[in-house]
């Protein structure tokens, strides 16, 4: 009997073990299916190639996802060598030179070789810390499966498709390379905005820049640091190139749904936003110089807002009547539809404003700024799909000075329209951010329509689309409406707005980012939601949605709640306060940072670099100079976007 009982017990135990393993496998399969379903939301496949589940899972992590990479002790020691230099530099210039109190806006990284001056606490600290680092072992972890890692290599070398981020949201779009090239060439060969040229003569452009720069230096309009920054001598220069971001928000929602379900073979032409990359191009540095002097001019405009926060602060001060109309407008393809002559004429009209502005470096004559603008506009040359082009109308998206150049020109153009408009005095509030404008109008719908009829007949390329409503309208990432607060205080209510195509593809929890990045981004987004939501109920609803989307991206609910619970709607007014940040920081009062690539246990490096800091602190001569402990900062590795994206240069 006992033997039978033992047999029964073993059999039961085996059955339970089988059930447990089977249940665990089923849970894993269910989790994989759930993750795959979530990943499919973030990948829009417009190509003929059917993506595998592994490819969808990989791209669904987001183009900003960073795979873990091998970290060698050698690389850490190279980074520490730069840290050593910072310590020696601070000591050397404190002892033998006068340290400038503010940073120059165009100061380049110095290549000064720091002399090692004898045996001092700095050298002792460096020696002992190096010994500690020589025994440090970076953790080797993986945040992607072998199949996903191999998938990245495969996607990178597929020549028939292109992979890009969608315009105005983070969805990953996969297109046939042929379709992508056709859309790019369709825009570049329209005969209005661009012309094809035989070749790009970068040397000629650099000679033109140097001619202006040397003339400015001769006329004493440049200090030594600025002169070295914007002149071209033995610098690394690359050829600018164009790329295009798919505008999937312009596609019909029903077609998009079918594509996501992979139930359609419809061939559709996806409109795209042209971007001309000027990184390390011949016009980049001179463009930064021009931008520095134009931005303060833009800030003097009566319609100027820098971001959503500045718009909210102004709107919160505006009390309006019940019958006030809400109006928004959008200027179609603003950057590329302004003629060069219009831009130069607009710049000429702000000469007086420029003369009254003060800058912290030598201010050139306005004539030189006009020469630089002309040079940038007339020499905007780039490649696409092995062909060379030049822009002949407008300022290119992608050039650092284009926003300010376009802003000054469109401001003058809108003022001309308003001067013709007979009901200008009925505009109570008018603010604009680049090509998006917002108006509060105390009049009739017919009068507002007249404004845009005038606007759309005033220029054959610049066209205004608009919306009018008495109750609510969307503007930037907000929805303004007449809600409970309006009924009590005559101040418009606001809440967050996202486009229907937005999928909330937040940074994946498994990405190889520093832990502080996840905390900062969650806190930052929480504060943005707080700032953008006037009603407490809407705030709670939006925070719950944010939390739900984060959980879909792998975040633990306890981790998210711990960060967000300190963000209360009662503190909204405090968060709306504009905190001015200064470009010029006192160079005497800063923490020296050890900068290295992030990896799994990289935070432990801070303990190592501080362990022997007492050698410096214990010395009276060095204590005041190095009064703050060193910190650690992280640089990131390549993300998925940088691995798989290939531009048709």
Helices and strands in the chain: count of H runs, count of E runs? 25, 17
For 304, which DSSP code? Answer: B
Q: Is the pLDDT of residue 366 over 70?
A: yes
Per-residue pLDDT band at 19 (split at 50, 70, 90): low
Digit-coded pLDDT (tens) for 279-288: 999 999 999 9
pLDDT of residue 21: 65
pLDDT of residue 341: 94
Specify the 3-state DSSP secondary structure of 172.
strand
CA distance 466 to 443: 16
Does residue 12 lie within any of the structural domains? yes
Q: Find where tokens 């030594």 sit.
A: 224
Q: Is the pLDDT of residue 561 over 90?
A: yes
- How far from the centroid of its chain's Cα atoms is residue 438's Cα? 24
Q: Is the pLDDT of residue 243 over 60?
A: yes
Q: Which of 33-42, 217-226, 435-444, 541-550 has the lowest mean pLDDT?
A: 33-42
Higher pLDDT, 25 or 68: 68
Average pLDDT score over residue span 209-218: 96
pLDDT of residue 355: 95
Q: Is the pLDDT of residue 436 over 90?
A: yes
pLDDT of residue 518: 94
Does residue 262 lie within any of the structural domains? no
* Cβ-contact 305, 311 below 8 angstroms: yes
Per-residue pLDDT band at 265 (split at 50, 70, 90): low
pLDDT of residue 22: 67
Does residue 459 lie within any of the structural domains? no
Q: Is the pLDDT of residue 31 over 90?
A: no
Q: Is the pLDDT of residue 29 over 80?
A: no
Average pLDDT score over residue span 221-240: 90
* Assigned token pair, 462: 């610049």
Q: Are 81 and 31 found together in one domain?
A: no
* Assigned token pair, 282: 């011949």
Q: Which of 22-26, 438-442, 597-601, 636-640 has the lowest mean pLDDT?
A: 22-26
Digit-coded pLDDT (tens) for 172-190: 999 999 999 999 999 999 8
Higher pLDDT, 93 or 473: 473
pLDDT of residue 235: 80
Digit-coded pLDDT (tens) for 139-153: 888 899 999 999 999
Considering only CA atoms, which of 513, 526, 524 is closest in space to residue 554? 513
Phi and psi angles of residue 108, each rounded to the nearest 5 degrees, phi first:
-95, 165
Question: Percent of the chain beyond pLDDT 70?
Answer: 91
Average pLDDT score over residue span 104-125: 84
Considering only CA atoms, which of 413, 176, 169, 394 is closest in space to residue 274? 394
Q: Is the pLDDT of residue 28 over 70?
A: no
CA distance 429 to 596: 49
pLDDT of residue 1: 47
Q: Which of 76-80, 499-503, 575-579 has the lowest mean pLDDT?
A: 575-579
pLDDT of residue 112: 80
Does residue 9 lie within any of the structural domains? yes
| Ranges of H-type helices in 42-120 | 53-59, 73-96
* Cβ-contact 481, 472 below 8 angstroms: yes
Average pLDDT score over residue span 349-357: 95
CA distance 387 to 203: 18
* Assigned token pair, 302: 């009566």
Specify the 3-state DSSP secondary structure of 527.
helix
CA distance 43 to 172: 5
Per-residue pLDDT band at 621 (split at 50, 70, 90): confident
Q: Are 34 and 84 found together in one domain?
A: no
Q: Is the pLDDT of residue 568 over 80?
A: yes
With a CB cutoff of 8 Å and minimum separation 6, the contacts of 150 are: none
Q: Please state, in angstroms and as integers, the Cα–Cα distance from residue 132 to each residue in 76, 127, 612, 626, following that order.
A: 12, 9, 10, 21
Does residue 605 lie within any of the structural domains? yes
Q: Are 83 and 29 found together in one domain?
A: no
As a whole number of angstroms, the longest Cα–Cα distance in the chain is: 111
Does residue 15 lie within any of the structural domains? yes
Does residue 290 lie within any of the structural domains? no
Range from 14-28, 91-105, 154-168 that averages highest in pLDDT:
154-168
Average pLDDT score over residue span 334-345: 93
Task: Give the domain extent around 130.
Answer: 73-137+581-641
Q: Are strands 325-331 and 436-441 parallel, antiparallel or unpaired?
A: antiparallel
Average pLDDT score over residue span 404-420: 96
pLDDT of residue 625: 84
Q: Is the pLDDT of residue 582 over 70?
A: no
Range from 101-110, 406-415, 615-624 that averages highest in pLDDT:
406-415
pLDDT of residue 440: 97
For 511, which DSSP code? Answer: S
Higher pLDDT, 298 or 649: 298
Q: Is the pLDDT of residue 221 over 60?
A: yes
| Mean pLDDT of the residues in the chain | 89
Q: Is the pLDDT of residue 107 over 80?
A: yes
* DSSP class per residue in 242-272: EEEEE-GGGS-HHHHHHHHTT------PPPE
Measured from the Cβ of residue 135, the count of other Cβ atoms closer than 10 Å reads 8
Does residue 636 lie within any of the structural domains? yes
* Cβ-contact 286, 375 below 8 angstroms: yes
Average pLDDT score over residue span 403-430: 95
Q: Are 77 and 132 found together in one domain?
A: yes
Q: Which of 175-189, 378-392, 580-594 has the lowest mean pLDDT?
A: 580-594
Q: How many domains, the chain?
A: 2
> What is the pTM assigned to this prediction?
0.89
Q: Are 77 and 29 found together in one domain?
A: no
Question: Percent of the chain beyond pLDDT 90?
Answer: 66
* Assigned token pair, 566: 């300190």
């Amino acid at each position: 009997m006992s033997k039978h009982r033992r047999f029964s017990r073993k059999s039961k135990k085996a059955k339970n073990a089988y059930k447990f393993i089977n249940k665990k496998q089923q849970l894993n399969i269910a989790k994989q299916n759930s993750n795959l379903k979530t990943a499919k939301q973030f990948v829009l496949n417009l190509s003929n190639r059917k993506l595998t589940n592994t490819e969808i899972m990989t791209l669904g992590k987001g183009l900003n996802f960073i795979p873990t990479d091998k970290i060698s002790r050698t690389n850490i020691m190279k980074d520490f060598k730069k840290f050593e230099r910072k310590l020696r530099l601070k000591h050397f210039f404190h002892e033998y030179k006068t340290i400038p109190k503010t940073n120059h806006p165009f100061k380049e990284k110095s290549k000064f070789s720091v002399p090692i001056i004898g045996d001092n606490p700095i050298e002792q600290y460096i020696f002992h810390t190096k010994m500690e680092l020589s025994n440090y072992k970076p953790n080797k972890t993986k945040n992607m499966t072998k199949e996903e890692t191999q998938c990245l290599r495969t996607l990178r070398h597929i020549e028939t498709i292109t992979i890009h981020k969608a315009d105005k949201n983070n969805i990953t779009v996969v297109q046939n390379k042929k379709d992508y090239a056709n859309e790019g060439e369709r825009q570049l060969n329209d005969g209005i905005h661009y012309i094809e040229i035989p070749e790009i003569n970068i040397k000629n452009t650099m000679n033109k820049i140097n001619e202006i720069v040397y003339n400015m230096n001769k006329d004493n309009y440049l200090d030594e640091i600025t002169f070295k920054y914007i002149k071209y001598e033995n610098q690394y220069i690359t050829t600018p190139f164009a790329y295009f971001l798919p505008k999937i928000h312009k596609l019909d929602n029903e077609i998009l749904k079918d594509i996501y379900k992979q139930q359609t073979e419809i061939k559709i032409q996806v409109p795209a936003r042209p971007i001309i990359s000027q990184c390390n191009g011949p016009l980049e540095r001179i463009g930064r110089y021009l931008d520095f002097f134009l931005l303060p001019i833009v800030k003097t405009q009566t319609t100027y807002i820098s971001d959503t926060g500045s718009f909210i602060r102004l709107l919160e001060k505006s009390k309006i009547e019940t019958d006030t109309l809400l109006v928004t407008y959008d200027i179609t393809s603003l950057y590329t539809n302004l003629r060069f002559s219009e831009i130069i004429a607009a710049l000429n009209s702000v000469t007086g404003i420029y003369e009254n502005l003060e800058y912290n470096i030598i201010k050139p004559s306005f004539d030189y700024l006009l020469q630089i603008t002309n040079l940038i506009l007339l020499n905007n040359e780039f490649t696409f799909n092995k062909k060379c082009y030049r822009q002949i109308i407008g300022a290119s998206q992608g050039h650092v000075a284009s926003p300010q150049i376009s802003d000054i020109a469109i401001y003058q153009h809108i003022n001309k329209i308003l001067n013709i408009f007979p009901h200008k005095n009925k505009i109570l509030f008018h603010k604009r951010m680049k090509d998006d404008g917002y108006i509060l109008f105390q009049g009739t719908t017919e009068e507002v329509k007249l404004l845009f009829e005038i606007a759309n007949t005033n220029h054959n390329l610049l066209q205004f689309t608009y919306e009018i409503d008495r109750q609510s309208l969307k503007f930037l990432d907000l929805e303004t409406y007449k809600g409970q607060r309006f009924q009590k205080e005559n101040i418009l209510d606001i809440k967050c707005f996202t486009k229907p195509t937005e999928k909330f593809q937040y940074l994946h929890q498994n990405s190889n980012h520093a832990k502080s990045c996840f905390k900062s981004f969650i806190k930052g987004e929480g504060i943005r939601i707080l700032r953008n939501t006037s009603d407490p109920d809407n705030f709670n609803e939006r925070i719950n949605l944010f939390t739900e989307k984060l959980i879909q991206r792998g975040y633990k609910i306890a981790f998210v709640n711990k960060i967000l619970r300190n963000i209360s709607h009662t503190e909204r007014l405090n968060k709306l306060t504009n905190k001015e940040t200064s470009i010029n920081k006192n160079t005497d009062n800063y923490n020296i940072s050890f900068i290295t690539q992030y990896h799994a246990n990289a935070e432990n490096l801070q303990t190592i670099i501080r362990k022997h800091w007492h050698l410096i602190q214990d010395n009276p001569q060095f204590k005041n100079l190095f009064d703050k402990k060193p910190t650690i900062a992280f640089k990131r590795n390549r993300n998925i976007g940088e691995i798989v994206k290939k531009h048709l240069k």
